[in-house]
Structure 1
Amino acid sequence: MTRPFLSRAAALLCLALPSLGHANDTLDVVAAFEIKAPEPATSGHIFSRMGVAETLVNADADGTLTPGLATQWRVSEDGLVWTFGLRKGVMFHDGTAMTADSVVNALTIARGKPGPLAGLPITALEAGEDEVILTLSDPMAALPAFLAEARSQILAPTSYAADGAGVAIIGTGPYRITALEPPLSLDATEFDGYWGPPPHISDVTYSGVSRVETRALMAESGEAEFVFGLDPASVSRLGMLDAVEVLSVPIPRTLLIKVNAGHPFLSDAQTRRALSLAIDRTGIAKAVLRYPEGASQLFPPSVAGWHDAGLAPLSYDVEAAKRLLADLGWVPGEDGILTRDGARFALTLTTYADRPELPLIAAVLEQQFRAIGVDVTINTTNSSEIPAGHQSGSLDLGLIARNFSLIPDPIGTVLSDYVDNGDWGAMNWHNAEFASLVRAIARGEESTEDRRAAAAILHADLPIIPVAWYQLTLAVSDRVEGATIDPYERSFGLQNMRWAQ
């Protein structure tokens, strides 16, 4: 039975009512993400993290690809034909067997929706005997990594309406959904027909709670055993409690400013460099995030092959930023804000509270940009406004947190964000040399120097402006053991957790 969310939140905030939690044998998970629908294209990351749905390919904590619903894969010499051998004896939660036809059906539907498969050069998807064959028009060496992304999850045919829309989440994971109430909650229980080791904890729930303060209170009060995504202040407070363990780990995610390079004020790379020079990254990292340092470049050290220790670090120099803008014809007005040709240098910075640190950093950036004469208005809204603004062209600046390994090979995100100009990547920015380098890497023409050369172009041209590297934090009750953080954010690891003895 799903708990009433409003009553639970009220109980926590008042700290006066008795707990409205499940019985002691149910593990309660809380995170910021809403369940938009029973649809992998919009909420697949939640169903994968909760152990309900699975993909053909998995990835371990180091990013190494491992077998999932496919036990092995091979590619033809020309790189165009991939064959994935399927795990035998896998059952969907509705009791039907996973077959090659059902896998082809799920992948075909996924290809028709927004997601990483939509942009791949797949010309045919065919079912063989206990195997699936994908034919490409152009080599894609990272294809298995794309099949590890949450929107590529394999669901039973009954999960979809006739038009391919998701109507239910009938997966193959260790947990099956017993109640789903978008946008806030789901309940799940152990799936007796699971092909792998059974979970240690039989019943789990998920609640989407947008306010970080409420999530922290739920961890503090014991209302939830696993609380994902905390702000630095909550981490400090919870870290002093005996009943709560705070886990934190660097992950391949960067806090960055997405720039509309087609905006008349931002189209010149010199302007983007000036904005970059205005950012005190070390100050933000220490004061807001409580990290030792900010981002010296886009890719953190954990993004193997793309981080280049030899790159000159992004620096903080207000006077140099002012000189760059003066060279472009910007002149301070009476209020200190720059003007040019009668236009005032005013921009809107859009961000969202799903990541609690983003609005805090936005407030700091507003002041740091004002110091060089740029007037920034902060728009804290839903995360969906970032891709919407990208599509409409209305976005000026967007403060976001971008994970480079949701597809376990970074080339997937780099290709999508900076060559195909995906919704969360570069906006109105194109660089022919960069695109050529990245496409060659995607084809499997491996070269660390090519990756470094591509990274250097992003570093110099700044179609996005890095601010800070990222640490993921969560709080776990002392009632449970075995909790870990997946740096690739593919799983909460619930099936490996157990009640403390």
Structure 2
Amino acid sequence: MVIKLHLKVLAASCAAWAAVSTTYVSAEEKVFDVVAPFEIVGLDPSVSGFIFQRMQVTETLLEADAAGQPLPALAETWSVADDGKTWRLTIRKDVKFHDGTNLTAAAAAHSLNVARSKPGILRNAKIESITADGNDVVIRLAEAFAPMPALLAHSSTSILAAAAYDSHDAVQKVIATGPYQTTLVQPPQRLAAQRFEQYWGRKPALEKTTYLAADRGETRTLMAESGDAELVFQLDPPSIARLSRAPNVQVLMGPVPRVVVLAVNSGSGETASVETRKALSLAIQREGIAAAVLRAPGTGATQMFADNVTAWHDPTLPPLAYDPDAARSLLKAQGWGPGSDGILEKNGARLHLKLLTFSDRPELPLIATALQAQLREVGVDVTVAVANVSAIPAAYNDGSLQLALFARNYALVPDPLVTLYGDFGHGGAEWGAMGWKSLQFDQAMTALLDSKDPTEQQALRNKMLAQIQNELPLLPVAWYRQTIAVSRKVEGAAIDPFERTFGLSTMRWVE
């Protein structure tokens, strides 16, 4: 029954994909088809901007290089006042929106003000105003915010034409400046686009493309294997092995600033003490999970960031270790003793924890099961619940969250500091630390937001990293490697380390 159900799901997904292909293009046209697990929630960049950005429909004022350093994009130059509170960005000339209108500083300022009015990345900076001054966008802050360029590269700050908004500034159509313009958007699953012939930069070789949201990993794998999609994003470990043997597909793998973490409630319950969190960490055999579950030896997380995130990796930190005997000793010192079935007890209560995760990333339930077995070895009883992704913030907000397993993307903006600022500061957040408050950490982070001295900046980063390593408000499990499957009918594919683009504009059909 389960097998039949899965086959029906696969068939339905493939039928939906076939409908996209046959509806929007003729059989003789070459169309580059992308499949990924992310649904198109809406047209507004604040909710689905990352999809439009990855499909190179929308663009931002600034871009980022492979190291996360800012690059010109729709703004060709930028500067900041000595006090760090006023940023001035000069808009590139001769850029047209997809409706043929010209990009202006006023249009850019309007998009940023719409983004600023909604929950999103711009709220990390204390913005007083965003205005147009001739051909410049001027952003005035109440306090200095050094990573401001990283915010202006985030997908939620994508610049849209005036006609994209209705009279209440709700996005009614995606009219942007990218090398591709949409010909169809059907939330939550479909998007079709074609090359924008008036694009200001280098025009891509691929003329037409489509996007399909398919949440099931096996669906995406089947589509790559059958040739129904040219690029499949995010593969589970069994699919990587399977597609690596397929003659028509190449599998690419590369490190990205994403970390699989076990979030632990540091504010209440049995995990509120640092010693208990250290015991849980010592019970995790990270490299075993990396090799056996993720099939990526060498990615067991010995600290928060891998060495490919140079500024946020401190090679002098003592690595997170696997030592179950030390874990048992720490738990014993906390008053826990084994019950008749080996599960630890204290004052008649068992050491039982609930771990929430979700299947959008297919490796997470597998890792959760491995963690469940490893923690049981030291006497901790863990119940794994695989729910919708929304279950974690819901449990965080109602105070019931004990453990949560997820892959946190510290490249949401090109500078990880911005994500860390929201995840760790002032008591944490739903996708960060839970109930962990540290004045010392907050002071170091505030100083880093204001610092212009590279030496001082690195010292502050190392201070923050050491505190995370010592107090473990999050338990790093594995460093992430992104994987994609690409048809051998195209060349020029690559993995963007900041996951900002699928790379459509750099690929071309093999003749």
TM norm structure 2? 0.92
Paired position in structure 2 for 1:64: 69
Query: How far apart, CA to CA, are the structure 1 residues paired with 2:151 and 2:325?
Result: 44
C-alpha offsets along residues 323-366 of structure 1, whole Å, 9 cap, x if unaligned? 11121122222332222233332222111222221111011111
Do structure 1's residue 175 and structure 2's residue 180 form an aligned pair? yes
Q: 1:382 aligns with which of 385, 388, 398?
A: 388
> Quick check: 1:394 aligned with 2:400?
yes
User: 5 Å matches for 1:81-480?
Assistant: 81-293=86-298, 294-420=300-426, 421-446=428-453, 447=456, 448-480=458-490
Q: Deviations over 1:437-494 (max 9, x none)?
A: 1111111244212211110000000000000011111010011111111000011110
CA drift at 1:155: 1.5
Q: Deviations over 1:241-262 (max 9, x none)?
A: 2211111111111111112212
Shift of 1:267: 1.0
Deviation at 1:136, TM superposition (A): 1.0
Structure with greater helix percent: 2
- In the alignment, structure 1 segments of 5+ residues that lack a partner are 1-5
> What is the CA-CA distance between 1:273 and the residue it aligns to?
0.7
Amino acid at match of 1:221: S
CA shift digits 1:53-74 (9 cap, x unpaired): 1111001223221111100100
Cα distance in structure 2, aligned partners of 1:328 and 1:160: 58
Q: Is the 8 A contact 1:110 1:118 kept in 2?
A: no
Matched residue SS, 1:48: helix
The number of residue pairs the alignment matches comes to 494
**What percentage of residue pairs aligned between the two structures are identical?**
47
1:25 aligns with 2:30: yes
Decide which moves more: 377-386 or 226-235: 377-386
What amino acid does structure 2 have at the position aligned with 1:281?
A: R
Q: CA deviation at 1:35?
A: 1.0
Task: Give the distance between the partners of 1:218 and 1:443, measured in 2 at CA.
Answer: 48
Contact map agreement 1:19 1:223 (CA 8 A) in 2: no
- For 2:258 and 2:80, locate their aligned partners in 1 and report how far apart those are by CA, in whole Å: 30
Q: Hey, what does 1:3 align to over in structure 2?
A: none
The verdict on how the C-alpha distance between 1:381 and 1:164 changes in structure 2, with shifts beyond 3 A counting, is farther
TM-score normalized by structure 1?
0.94
CA contact (8 A) 1:259 1:398 kept: yes
Q: Any idea what SS the aligned residue of 1:46 has?
A: helix
SS at match of 1:434: helix
Sort the Cα spacing of 1:156 and 1:341 in 2 relative to 1 into closer, same or farther, 3 A: farther
Structure 1 residue 392, shift from structure 2 partner: 2.9
Contact persistence 2:237–2:294 (CA under 8 A): yes
Q: CA deviation at 1:127?
A: 0.8
Give me the whole-angstrom Cα distance separating, in 2, the residues matched to 1:372 and 1:365.
11
Helix, strand or coil for the counterpart of 1:256?
Answer: strand
| Per-residue CA distance 1:135-175 (angstroms, 9 max, x = gap) | 11111111011111111111223333444443332211111
Secondary structure class of the residue paired with 1:377 = strand
Q: Which moved more, 1:481-490 or 1:170-179?
A: 170-179
What amino acid does structure 1 have at the position aligned with 2:451? G
CA shift, 1:19, in A, is 11
**CA–CA separation in structure 2 for the residues paired with 1:130 and 1:378:** 55
- 1:141 counterpart SS class: coil
Q: Deviation at 1:394?
A: 2.7
Contact 1:281 1:468 survives alignment (8 Å): yes
CA distance in 1, matches of 2:478, 2:255: 11
What value does the CA root-mean-square deviation take over the aligned residues? 2.1
Comparing 26-35 with 418-427, which one deviates more in the overlay?
418-427
Deviations 1:214-260 (A, max 9, x none): 11111111010001101121111211222111111111111111122
Whole-angstrom CA distance in 2 between matches of 1:291 and 1:7? 31
